[in-house]
Amino acid sequence: MNYLDKIDKIIIKVNSVSSEKANELIEIKKSSFTGTELLMSFTYELSLITKKDEELDELVGSDLTELISYCQKIGLSIKDVR
């Protein structure tokens, strides 16, 4: 999986519903120094966002599940809080 492309596509989808939440995700992407940090922080924050917003969960929930699966495959433990 090209996780950078996946993250960009998720941000675009989230932006169609909430520019504020999309900006939060963009800031996480900008402030991450490593791929591991990006995957862990982005995936966790997206999990929190989708837990609070049913519309966003329907929109990007399957993408979130894919990211979590990818993280687990490469040895990162990400908690899905949905």
Residue 81, domain member (yes or no): no
Q: Which residues contact 3 (CB under 8 A, 6 or more apart)?
A: 35, 38, 39, 67, 70
Number of domains in the chain: 1
Residue 54, domain member (yes or no): yes
Residue 58, domain member (yes or no): yes
Q: Is 16 helix (H, G, I), strand (E, B) or coil?
A: coil
Concatenated DSSP letters of 20-67: HHHHHHHHHHHH--SHHHHHHHHHHHHHHHHHH-HHHHHHHHHHHHHH
Q: What is the mean pLDDT of residues 36-55?
A: 96
- Check whether 20 has a pLDDT greater than 80: yes
Residue 18, domain member (yes or no): yes
Q: What is the mean pLDDT of residues 46-62?
A: 96
Domain, as residue range, for 16: 3-73
Provide the mean pLDDT of the chain. Answer: 95
- Check whether 29 has a pLDDT greater than 90: yes
Residue 78, domain member (yes or no): no
- Check whether 80 has a pLDDT greater than 80: no
Band of pLDDT at residue 7, cut at 50, 70 and 90: very high
